[in-house]
Amino acid sequence: MGIVEDIERRRPVDVAAIERELTELWKAAAEAKDGAATDAVMRVCLLNLLVFITDEARLGEVSEVVAKVTESAPCRAIIMHADLSRTATETHAWIASHCHLDDQMRQVCCEEIRVAASGSAIRYLARTVAPLIAPDLPVFLWWQDLQTLQEKYFLDFLPEVDRVIVDSRQLTHRDAQAPQLARFVLEARQRAAFSDLNWTRLTRWRDLIAGLFDAPDLTHYLHQLTRVTILYAKDEEASGIPLQALLLTGFFAAQLGWTLKDAYEVSRHQAELRFRARQRRVTVTIEPQESQGLPQRQLTEVILLAERPEMARFSVTCHPSEGADWLYTPAVEISGGVRYHTTIALPQLTEARLMSREVEIFGRSKPYERALRVALDIITELELDAQFN
Amino acid sequence: MANDLNPLRAEARVERTPDPCTVVIFGASGDLAKRKLVPALFNLARERRLPGGFSIVGYSRSPLSDEALRALMYEAVVRFSSSGPPTAAEWESFAAGMFYCQGGYDDVAGYTRLKERLAAIDAERGTSGNRIFYLSTPPSLIGPIMDTLGASELARSAPGSWTRIIIEKPLGYDLKTAQELNAHISRIFDESQVYRIDHYRAKETVQNIVAMRFANGIFEPVWNRRYIDHVQITAAEAVGVEGRGGYYEGSGAVRDMLQNHLLQLLALVAMEPPISLEADAIRDEAIKVAKAIRPLVPSEVDAHAVRGQYTAGWVGGKAVPGYREEEGVSPTSTTETYAAIRFEIDNWRWAGVPFFLRSGKRMTKRAAEIAVQFRQVPMRLFSTTEADLHEPNLLVMKIQPDEGLTLRLAAKLPGHAIHLRSVNMEFRYGTSFGVRSSEAYERLLLDCMFGDATLFTRRDMVETGWALMMPILDHWAASGERNLHFYEAGTWGPEAANRLMDEGRAWRRL
């Protein structure tokens, strides 16, 4: 892909006149390329990407993410900024275009509309934005403020969108929003498909771990697992188990048919979870380790052990590389002998990369919903344990 | 498929991976292995599309060690990988599964060593006895390799595992040799084990023909003789024989392009909807329509087929020699570097709709496409002055260099008067989906590992293709230079090709 090039022709417009103004914008962009071929500027749109933020400081970052997403998924982006601190009822809009050069050096452009609302105007954001959605194309809503998920102005969007994307990265089981989010998603899933970037960060882990068991003679170990250890990069300031680790545990439990028996906190950052799986018990330990250059609360290693009839150890480790990639090491040891050991360099999971992946997917993710349900059960169990101990 | 038994992959949105396996490349030190095969396998590994334990064994006559093969392939991947050179960690991981075995192609002792090596890899890397034998060798070695694979019992699958063989074109020189080759293959391998590569089929747009036709309801009602005037299928190259004159002298445009690639494209455009996307369901429909193509009788060949040969000219800003002046080419050669054929399909859908196929070297530019030309509207409501430049609707499926679809429509020019112009609606893979399309060999190798033969050519299609071309090839062979039309390099082929067009039709300028 080519270089991202913002034409920097952002300008304030009347909300009611946005479509007309966009046409003018495109005309101006084409004229700016005078002398070039008639298709010098191509307007391409595969989907609508709506982004809701309450923190104005995030505007620049979000716009950059949108620009990156448009390289792989040309879209109409509508970035909504709700200024909760202002009481005056106002709506302002701006339009701009994101352009990049494709592999044949043609300029491909997508639209970005920004809408800023304050006061009562926030309540009607969905109505303001609905006419701006490009028809007949999928609509993704990236809702960046988890605290406002119960608000009517969020719920009003649900009929308009195909998929809601949130990010629970910062949450631990001790945050009140974690169970709220889980309950909300599980209840609201009939109205819209939900996704969590924190779950998307796990896709790579799930893939690599699943890959350890693809060989036909290794698959059966999945039904003999007795111990699982999930390690994550320590965060001294946060309290509680990262939701990501609970989602991964939920994934194992849901896919392998484990039933939660009990859960307790070993310490502020460590938990032990016990499951029943047919005739055996499975113990999952989630514990922190020094971050070693990885972002706090990110998973660093997952170890799965089957102890009978022989010791089989399956693991994936993540560590930073000298470059921009992270190195993942999937390994299998059977009875102490190395069966498989490799290192894979994969790019760091930026928000742009995660979002680009998210907008490729439509509909509900049943594995996510099942994992989330188990995670919610674990949180409930950990809360009960904390209350009685 | 082992993946299907892995509960961690159930309903997951991660891409499935094939069963662990070993790819044995015969002719490992050759050009194809270095330019295409190993870089394609590396790209698949980089995208984590290969299973854990995946291994490569190179086999050839050259004396090489495992390390020497790895060094050779490292250079090849650095140079030819479409996703960029490997990092140290990536290469270390990929190269750890790469091994070499030296031996002659008909040397049973060499194959015994290969067998032992494969068994050791199965034990060490868990490849479970699954093997792909890739014959990246000259056609003359196909027979000896298959015989020796058979004699050393490498062609048979162990219980619970699979063995497949990939064969590159040319699949015979004519109908007789193709039938002999197929008979030879079938003595050693079951047809379900045989994967005949047609890298054209793996291009995105070619696969998109099926998606476009059968996932869009708007096309099927007009996809027939009532609405379509004719179809043009073109594969034009700007390059000449590129130092492969010796090979091309025994081939020519019909054998090299029309008999296989272009005929496959015709089948995909013209076939009836398959009952499923299973490999044989699609291939059954493709062979059905190929068999409905009316074969030319010798007396029709001159009227329905044109052959040409390029002379010196100017291509891409450079003077280029004529074909007969190329290295390895006879100065009196009658090998066609250009061929155009008009076919008709005798079935209810296509009766009376001509399909024009053309392919040539040293043409104006590199381009490959399928153009479906619709009929004119039944009544011309609009004026036909010189200000009106609209033409009938046209749907173009571009295969290279810029994969995508173009639909030509008529639209009114702005202004008081009604003047029409043709405008194009374009869909281009490169701009609509900003993801890298898989290289043809990546797709084909992965499909073979999955056991999906959809994009590979079945025996009956190979033989039907030859059967259609033989009257033309025989007629030309018997004609000497009589109907060989020369064209200047850098043009769209010989003037004589225009005579295949009638009733106001014309070859497209691409």
pLDDT greater than 60 at residue A286: yes
Q: B123 and chain A: CB distance < 8 Å anywhere?
A: no
Chain A contacts in chain B segment 50-89 (CB below 8 A): 51-53, 87, 89
Same domain, A150 and A225: no
What's the mean pLDDT in B118-133?
91
Q: What pLDDT, in 10s, does the model give residues B58-70?
A: 999 999 999 999 9
d(CA B301, CA B221): 33
What is B187-204 written as a DSSP string?
A: HHS-GGGEEE--GGGGSH
Please report whether residue A351 resides in a domain. yes
Kindly state the tokens that stand for A158. 């649900």
With beta carbons less than 8 A apart as the criterion, state whether B198 and B326 touch. no
Residues 6+ apart with CB under 8 A from A272: A263, A264, A266, A283, A284, A285, A286
For an interface test with B, the pick among A214, A225, A278, A370 (most B C-beta atoms closer than 10 Å) comes out as A214
Instruction: Give the strand pairing for A193-196 and A163-166.
Output: parallel
Query: Is A344–B11 a contact, with Cβ atoms under 8 angstroms apart?
Result: no
- Asked whether this complex has an ipTM greater than 0.85, the answer is no
Same domain, A239 and A375: yes
pLDDT greater than 50 at residue B90: yes
What's the mean pLDDT in B333-351?
97
Helix B38-46 with B88-95: angle, nearest 10 deg? 110
Any known ligand binding at B490?
A: no
Q: What is the mean pLDDT of chain B?
A: 90
> CA B326, B327, B333, B339: dihedral to nearest 10 degrees?
-50
pLDDT greater than 80 at residue B386: no
What's the mean pLDDT in A136-155?
90
d(CA B151, CA B164): 16
With beta carbons less than 8 A apart as the criterion, state whether A296 and A233 touch. yes
With beta carbons less than 8 A apart as the criterion, state whether B17 and A207 touch. no
Helix A197-212 with A366-388: angle, nearest 10 deg? 100
| pLDDT of res. B268 | 93
Min mean pLDDT across A350-364, B277-291, B398-412, B458-472 is at: B398-412
DSSP one-letter code for B377? P
d(CA B432, CA B27): 39
Any known ligand binding at B191?
A: no
Q: What pLDDT, in 10s, does the model give residues A206-246?
A: 999 998 998 888 899 999 999 999 999 998 888 899 999 99
Residue A205: pLDDT band by 50, 70, 90 thresholds? very high
| pLDDT of res. A259 | 96
Any known ligand binding at B31?
A: yes
Using a CB-CB cut-off of 8 Å, the residues of chain A touching B8 are 206, 209-210, 213, 222, 251-252, 255-256
DSSP one-letter code for A146? G
Query: Is A214–B17 a contact, with Cβ atoms under 8 angstroms apart?
Result: yes
pLDDT greater than 70 at residue A34: no
Query: Is A102–B430 a contact, with Cβ atoms under 8 angstroms apart?
Result: yes
- Min Cα separation A242/chain B (Å): 22
| Candidate from A73, A210, A339 with C-beta closest to B9 | A210
Task: Using CA coordinates, name the residue in chain B closest to A106.
Answer: B431
Higher local confidence (pLDDT), B294 or A5? B294
d(CA A27, CA A33): 10
d(CA A307, CA B246): 64
Higher local confidence (pLDDT), B302 or A324? B302
Any known ligand binding at B477?
A: no
With beta carbons less than 8 A apart as the criterion, state whether B80 and B89 touch. no
| pLDDT of res. A29 | 65
pLDDT greater than 90 at residue A289: yes
Min mean pLDDT across A54-68, A182-196, B356-370, B460-474 is at: A182-196
| pLDDT of res. B288 | 97
pLDDT greater than 60 at residue A9: no
| pLDDT of res. B390 | 63
Any known ligand binding at B30?
A: yes
| pLDDT of res. B340 | 98
- Min Cα separation A385/chain B (Å): 30
Query: Is A216–B426 a contact, with Cβ atoms under 8 angstroms apart?
Result: no
| Candidate from B7, B53, B402 with C-beta closest to A340 | B53
Residues 6+ apart with CB under 8 A from B417: B387
Same domain, A127 and A221: no
Higher local confidence (pLDDT), B5 or B183? B183
Q: Single out the residue of B450, B47, B53 nearest to residue A204, CA to CA.
A: B47
Query: Is A340–B9 a contact, with Cβ atoms under 8 angstroms apart?
Result: no
Min mean pLDDT across A119-128, A253-262, A369-378, B328-337 is at: A119-128
Q: What is the mean pLDDT of chain A?
A: 85
d(CA B103, CA A333): 34
Q: What pLDDT, in 10s, does the model give residues B155-180?
A: 999 888 999 999 988 889 999 999 99
Higher local confidence (pLDDT), A40 or A270? A270
With beta carbons less than 8 A apart as the criterion, state whether A40 and A27 touch. no
Please report whether residue A131 resides in a domain. yes
Using a CB-CB cut-off of 8 Å, the residues of chain B touching A207 are 12, 14-15, 48
Q: For the domain bounded by B204-449+458-500, which CATH number is listed? A: 3.30.360.10
Half-sphere exposure of B266 (CA within 13 A, CB side): 35
Query: Among the three residues A137, A161, A185, which one is the final residue of a domain in this structure?
Result: A161
Q: Write the CA distances from A258 to A130, A282, A364, B399, B429, integer angstroms.
A: 43, 8, 22, 50, 44
pLDDT greater than 60 at residue B388: no
Any known ligand binding at B36?
A: no
Amino acid at A71: E
Any known ligand binding at B33?
A: yes
Is CATH 3.30.70.2740 correct for B22-168? no
d(CA B140, CA B128): 31
Any known ligand binding at B61?
A: yes
- Min Cα separation B402/chain A (Å): 9
pLDDT greater than 60 at residue A4: no
Residue B426: pLDDT band by 50, 70, 90 thresholds? confident
Using a CB-CB cut-off of 8 Å, the residues of chain B touching A103 are 430
Q: B426 and chain A: CB distance < 8 Å anywhere?
A: yes
Query: Is B87–A73 a contact, with Cβ atoms under 8 angstroms apart?
Result: no
What is B115-181 written as a DSSP string?
A: HHHHHHHHHHH--TT-EEEEE-S-GGGHHHHHHHHHHTT-SSPPTT--EEEEEPSP--SSHHHHHHH
Residue B82: pLDDT band by 50, 70, 90 thresholds? confident
pLDDT greater than 50 at residue A180: yes
Query: Is A340–B431 a contact, with Cβ atoms under 8 angstroms apart?
Result: no
Q: B20 and chain A: CB distance < 8 Å anywhere?
A: yes
Q: Single out the residue of A311, A262, A248, A258 nearest to residue A282, CA to CA.
A: A258
φ, ψ of residue B252 to 5 degrees: the values are: 95, 170
Percent of chain B whose pLDDT exceeds 70: 95
- Min Cα separation B5/chain A (Å): 7
| pLDDT of res. B141 | 92
d(CA B354, CA B500): 10
Q: What pLDDT, in 10s, does the model give residues A329-382?
A: 999 999 988 888 888 888 888 999 999 988 888 788 889 999 999 999 999 999
Q: In this structure, how many other beta carbons lie within 10 angstroms of the beta carbon of residue A337?
A: 8
Burial letters for A263-288: b for 16+ Cβ neighbours within 10 Å, e otherwise? Answer: bbbeeebebebbbebeeeebebbbbb
Alpha carbon distance, N-terminus to C-terminus of chain B = 44
pLDDT greater than 70 at residue B140: yes
**Active-site choice (B261, B304, B390, B475):** B261
Residue for token pair 């250079």: B75
| Candidate from B89, B402, B435 with C-beta closest to A345 | B89
For an interface test with A, the pick among B1, B3, B9 (most A C-beta atoms closer than 10 Å) comes out as B9
User: Where do the domains of chain B lie?
Assistant: 22-168, 204-449+458-500
Please report whether residue A168 resides in a domain. no
- Min Cα separation B88/chain A (Å): 9
With beta carbons less than 8 A apart as the criterion, state whether B299 and B485 touch. no
Residue A32: pLDDT band by 50, 70, 90 thresholds? low
What's the mean pLDDT in B222-226?
96
d(CA B505, CA B229): 9
> CA A256, A257, A262, A268: dihedral to nearest 10 degrees?
30
DSSP one-letter code for A105? S
Q: Single out the residue of A228, A336, A333, A335 nearest to residue A277, CA to CA.
A: A228
Using a CB-CB cut-off of 8 Å, the residues of chain A touching B204 are none
- Min Cα separation B112/chain A (Å): 25
What's the mean pLDDT in A127-132?
85
Query: Is A367–B89 a contact, with Cβ atoms under 8 angstroms apart?
Result: no
Kindly state the tokens that stand for A93. 């809009």
Q: B211 and chain A: CB distance < 8 Å anywhere?
A: no
Q: Single out the residue of B2, B78, B3, B68 nearest to residue B42, CA to CA.
A: B78
pLDDT greater than 60 at residue A87: yes
Using a CB-CB cut-off of 8 Å, the residues of chain A touching B14 are 203, 206-207, 210
pLDDT greater than 60 at residue B1: no
Query: Is A345–B8 a contact, with Cβ atoms under 8 angstroms apart?
Result: no
Same domain, A83 and A230: no
Count of domains for chain A: 2
| Candidate from B8, B87, B96 with C-beta closest to A206 | B8
What's the mean pLDDT in B451-460?
92
For an interface test with A, the pick among B1, B3, B8, B83 (most A C-beta atoms closer than 10 Å) comes out as B8
- Min Cα separation B128/chain A (Å): 8
- Min Cα separation B383/chain A (Å): 26
Q: What pLDDT, in 10s, does the model give residues B233-265?
A: 999 999 998 888 888 998 999 999 999 999 999
Any known ligand binding at B66?
A: no
Query: Is B13–A203 a contact, with Cβ atoms under 8 angstroms apart?
Result: yes
Query: Is A342–B9 a contact, with Cβ atoms under 8 angstroms apart?
Result: no
Kindly state the tokens that stand for B182. 């197929």
Query: Is B20–A215 a contact, with Cβ atoms under 8 angstroms apart?
Result: yes
Min mean pLDDT across B100-104, B212-216, B355-359 is at: B212-216
Q: Write the CA distances from A174 to A23, A40, A295, B177, B404, integer angstroms.
A: 49, 53, 20, 74, 51
Query: Is B430–A71 a contact, with Cβ atoms under 8 angstroms apart?
Result: no
pLDDT greater than 80 at residue B438: no
φ, ψ of residue B45 to 5 degrees: the values are: -65, -40
Same domain, A242 and A134: no
Catalytic site residue B304? Answer: no
Any known ligand binding at B468?
A: no
What's the mean pLDDT in A303-312?
92
What's the mean pLDDT in A304-317?
93
| pLDDT of res. B144 | 94
Percent of chain B whose pLDDT exceeds 90: 65
| Candidate from B8, B13, B126 with C-beta closest to A215 | B126
- Residue A39 lies in domain: 3-161
Any known ligand binding at B428?
A: no
| pLDDT of res. B19 | 86
Using a CB-CB cut-off of 8 Å, the residues of chain A touching B93 are 342-344
User: Is the pTM here over 0.80, yes or no?
Assistant: no
Please give the helix or strand (H or E) that residue A166 lies within, else none. Answer: strand A163-166
Q: B250 and chain A: CB distance < 8 Å anywhere?
A: no
Same domain, A243 and A376: yes
Q: B13 and chain A: CB distance < 8 Å anywhere?
A: yes
Please give the helix or strand (H or E) that residue A379 lies within, else none. Answer: helix A366-388
Please give the helix or strand (H or E) that residue B487 lies within, else none. Answer: strand B484-488
pLDDT greater than 50 at residue B39: yes
Please report whether residue A169 resides in a domain. no
CA angle A49-A55-A61, nearest 5°?
Answer: 55
What's the mean pLDDT in A305-325?
89
What is B49-111 written as a DSSP string?
A: -SPTT-EEEEEESS---HHHHHHHHHHHHHHH-TT-PPPHHHHHHHHTTEEEEE--TT-HHHH
Q: Would you put residue B278 in left (φ > 0), alpha (ψ -120 to 50) or beta?
A: beta
| Candidate from A219, A256, A361 with C-beta closest to B13 | A361
CATH assignment at residue A337:
3.30.360
Please report whether residue A352 resides in a domain. yes
Helix B263-270 with B279-291: angle, nearest 10 deg? 100
φ, ψ of residue A59 to 5 degrees: the values are: -55, -50
DSSP one-letter code for A381? H
With beta carbons less than 8 A apart as the criterion, state whether B390 and B376 touch. no
Task: Using CA coordinates, name the residue in chain B closest to A70.
Answer: B434
d(CA A178, CA A146): 9
Residue for token pair 């484990």: A258
